[in-house]
Structure 1
Amino acid sequence: MSSATRAIPRPGVLSGRRVVSPEQRRRRRVQLVWGCLLLNVLTFFPEAPHIVPIPGPVGKLIAQGALAVAALLVLTVNRPIKIRASVFIFLATLLATEALLSSLRAEFLLGALYRSGRLFAFVMVLWLLTPWWTRRDLLLVRTHLMYLWIVIGSAVAGLLVAPGLAMTEDRLYGVLWPIPPTQVGHYAAVAIGLTTILWMSGLLRREVALVSVAGSVPVLLLTHTRTALIALLIGVVIAGLSLFTARTRVRRAFAVGLVFFSVGALTLGSVVTTWLARGQDTTQVSELTGRTRVWDGILAQPRSTFETLFGFGLSNKSFNGLPIDSNWLGTYFDVGLIGMAINIAMVLFVLIMALFFQPQGPRRAMALFLVAYCVVASFTESGLSEASPYLLELTLAASLVYSRVPREGVR
């Protein structure tokens, strides 16, 4: 080979260094923006067990500062600023505006204003990400799944490093970054669901799907999170049914799943019952671990007409020092009946678009899974009316049913 031939660089390589195209740079920055949004809602719980000596104020500053980083990053990639019309994000903006107005009369004014301002900024970043909703490579879905794997991996690493601390109260905590079992279970369940649907749709290699599911299922079971497990099963069944007539792989998966379910029900019934009971007696199970007492207190709370319609302002989703643990009661308490109506409209919009206006395929199936999961989980978890993983994933579902084809592609 002549020296002249050797001097000619290969495509994508310049002077021995790989050239990163503008498209790749934009893609990476969008992924970083999404990662910052997920870090922002990955609330730092200093009271939860953790092995990394991060002071509480520093951990909270990292989580909350991630939203500012996301806002700056999205402005660098979305230049000049472009957004796509979205009914869902418009409704989320209405919710944030209503939360801001109701917080002006809150008892704890500064905290309520901060939370509503954070929600408003969160929604603005989501607006600026709308140009990437229509990508055929499902960039946002794959990015979300990648970050879920990272969170799950951190929980597994914490279990290997400090098993006694990670299994506090016989439930798996994230101890590298303090994450309560309910959130660990939530991330594992969503990762299992998205992985399963991508595999059933032929968009994910079997080896990758197998590793993801095999790693996430034990994590979900170790958290003893009943809501996440039930929401996962219902969501996957609904998503699978939407693909049932189009994919042979789906029909085979349903047949195998039905056999395993039948065998498991016959042979492991007592084990499943014990896992679901989680060491609680009948009274504790019927009261949903004390949740119903908190809910009764919220409904009995005296309130004016304004407070009935607009709520008491965004709170930390607690009532008399106890967690509300219900999206609908928490929304009613914070932003009243009007906020609940907006919240319901957001969920119904995505569901109707998926069922009646989205063609059969993986986008529709994943959207149905995410909506079903959020609806089932909303009865014992809060988050659809605040900056949270649930709002982020409902937005992901809305992006999947966005039907308007852009005239000029945004890469």
Structure 2
Amino acid sequence: MTTITTRWSTQLATRLGHRPTRRVVAPEVRRRRRVQLTWALLVLNVMTFFPGAPHLLPIPGSVGKLIAQGALVGALMMALSVNRPVRIRPSVFIFLLMLLAAEGLLASVRAEFLFGALFRASRLFTFAIVLWLLTPWWTRRDLLLVRTHLLVLWTVLGSVVIGLLVAPGVALTEDRLGGTLWPIPPTQVGHYAAVAAGLTIVLWLSGLLRRGVALTSVLVAIPVLLLTHTRTALVAMLAGVLIAGLSLFTARSRVRKSFAIGFAVFSVGALTLGSVVATWLARGQDAEEVTALTGRRAVWDSILAQPRSAFETLFGFGLSNKSFNGLPIDSNWLGTYYDVGLVGVAITIMLVLFVLTAAWFRPQGPHRALALFLVAYCVVASFTESGLSEASPYLLELTLAASLVYSTSTREGVR
């Protein structure tokens, strides 16, 4: 009766020349949009602004950094507005993350550069609080957080492609594709492209994504990844897709057919395009540079040889910008050891092992496959990239994996 009355009122208002009132958005839709905006702001926060990188938009370095860091404050405010009254779910993963943040604060008190270390530690702590506020949405059956993350990655890759089309000379600095609308280094662009392609493939293998959408996404993401010449991202993506596919192998014929086709294509490509692949992997470097991991080994040896007290061995020197003597560390485990010591390394290992163990005991299906892809990607990339012990895209993706394997015994609440 109420519906009929509403329709009659709308028709009458139209006939009398009055515009009907604006459609009211359902509260659930508003909540979902705010959750998506919160996650997008977290991604923006970890997209560090590099003022020295070539970019097209005239954004001053201080303004760009303010936008990136201010996004975390916006995410916190948005999370508090959508999670009202505050409700959080018990989570071993978030507990370990908060423990890591607290340990980072403790280590940063004795840091040489006190202000910077305390700022990074506080940022990690705030980052963990925002993730905790989002735990009520971990159990949604529509994979809201995963789909939101994929949508944000597509947006980032779209900006990279637009920059390539508008100014190819700027985007392809040193023959490696980077972001030009927002300055994103090639390694990060490769990371975003690899994760977007991997998530798309696993969603399609699971039957949760239409073929046309999946094909379009892969045909954009894979060329972007190859143009970045990022070897770590490519290897991590292949490893993650392989492990995720194997977890679905006995359940879906689509996976078995795709693996058969993929094996045939790989065999033919290895025989016919071996030299091309070797050239791409070498990236213009000689054998000595490849063996030295592009100079990483020298930095790693220096970190291990750094004199340190018992406190610094256990708790580190405080959160840094993941560099040593002006050179990037490019290793999650050595970077974590340098910043937060053996205790921080142990907590980070527990974070990864917890998600892996939870995924192992989860029933076969899309949630398990997606979680295994994300964890495998993070583990493989962690040897030459840093990020699992700081606010970074890697930590966001590990949190996504934790949300996918959340205990079914407590899967209730927000839908």
- CA deviations on 1:178-224 (whole Å, 9 max, x unpaired) are 00000000000000010001001110000000000001000000000
- Shift of the alpha carbon at 1:410? 1.3
Q: Distance in 2 between the 1:204 and 1:30 partners?
A: 21
- Shift of the alpha carbon at 1:18? 2.8
Equivalence for 2:58: 53
Aligned ranges 1:338-377 → 2 under 5 Å: 338-355=343-360, 357-377=361-381
In structure 2, give the amino acid aligned to 1:92. Answer: L
Equivalence for 2:131: 126
Equivalence for 2:308: 303
Equivalence for 1:389: 393
Q: Distance in 2 between the 1:6 and 1:331 partners?
A: 62
Match of 1:266, SS? helix
282-291 vs 397-406, which moves further: 397-406
Match of 2:386, SS? coil
Match of 1:20, SS? coil
- CA deviations on 1:252-271 (whole Å, 9 max, x unpaired) are 11011011101110110000
In structure 2, give the amino acid aligned to 1:110. Answer: F
Q: Does 1:315 align with 2:316?
A: no
Equivalence for 1:264: 269
Equivalence for 1:106: 111
In structure 2, give the amino acid aligned to 1:271. Answer: V
Q: Distance in 1 between the 2:129 and 2:408 partners?
A: 20
Aligned ranges 1:16-27 → 2 under 5 Å: 17-27=22-32
Q: Distance in 2 between the 1:300 and 1:165 partners?
A: 39
In structure 2, give the amino acid aligned to 1:226. Answer: R
- Whether the aligned pair in 1 keeps the contact of 2:139 and 2:412 (CA below 8 Å) is no
Match of 2:380, SS? helix
In structure 2, give the amino acid aligned to 1:365. Answer: A
- Whether the aligned pair in 1 keeps the contact of 2:240 and 2:372 (CA below 8 Å) is yes
- CA deviations on 1:145-188 (whole Å, 9 max, x unpaired) are 00000000010000000000000000001000000000000000
Please, which of 29, 33, 36 is the counterpart of residue 28 of structure 1?
33
- Whether the aligned pair in 2 keeps the contact of 1:134 and 1:405 (CA below 8 Å) is no
Q: Does 1:39 align with 2:40?
A: no
Unaligned runs of 5+ in 2: 12-18
Match of 1:17, SS? coil
Equivalence for 1:378: 382
Please, which of 292, 295, 306 is the counterpart of residue 287 of structure 1?
292
In structure 2, give the amino acid aligned to 1:181. Answer: P
Match of 2:408, SS? coil
Identity of aligned residues (%): 76
- Shift of the alpha carbon at 1:404? 3.5
Match of 2:134, SS? helix
Equivalence for 2:205: 200
Q: Distance in 2 between the 1:79 and 1:212 partners?
A: 36
Equivalence for 2:8: 7
In structure 1, give the amino acid aligned to 2:47. Answer: L
Equivalence for 1:178: 183
Q: Distance in 1 between the 2:6 and 2:47 partners?
A: 52
Aligned ranges 1:84-103 → 2 under 5 Å: 84-103=89-108
Q: Does 1:225 align with 2:230?
A: yes
Equivalence for 1:167: 172
Equivalence for 2:85: 80
Q: Distance in 1 between the 2:6 and 2:48 partners?
A: 56
Question: How many aligned residue pairs are there?
Answer: 405
Q: Distance in 2 between the 1:262 and 1:292 partners?
A: 33
Unaligned runs of 5+ in 1: none
Equivalence for 2:156: 151
Q: Distance in 2 between the 1:76 and 1:168 partners?
A: 42
Match of 1:212, SS? helix
In structure 2, give the amino acid aligned to 1:115. Answer: R
Q: Distance in 2 between the 1:297 and 1:374 partners?
A: 25
Using structure 2 for the length normalisation, give the TM-score. 0.96
- Whether the aligned pair in 1 keeps the contact of 2:50 and 2:184 (CA below 8 Å) is yes
- Shift of the alpha carbon at 1:7? 3.1
161-170 vs 397-406, which moves further: 397-406
- CA deviations on 1:92-141 (whole Å, 9 max, x unpaired) are 00000000000000000000000000000000000000000000000000
Q: Distance in 1 between the 2:280 and 2:254 partners?
A: 31
- Shift of the alpha carbon at 1:403? 1.6
- Whether the aligned pair in 1 keeps the contact of 2:139 and 2:411 (CA below 8 Å) is no
In structure 1, give the amino acid aligned to 2:386. Answer: S
Equivalence for 2:69: 64
Aligned in 2, Cα 1:386/1:4: closer, same or farther, shift over 3 Å?
closer
- Whether the aligned pair in 1 keeps the contact of 2:46 and 2:68 (CA below 8 Å) is yes
- Shift of the alpha carbon at 1:5? 9.5
Q: Distance in 2 between the 1:177 and 1:331 partners?
A: 28
- CA deviations on 1:328-359 (whole Å, 9 max, x unpaired) are 0000000000000000000000001101x210
RMSD over equivalenced CA pairs, Å? 1.4
In structure 2, give the amino acid aligned to 1:64. Answer: Q
Q: Does 1:247 align with 2:252?
A: yes
- Shift of the alpha carbon at 1:8? 4.8
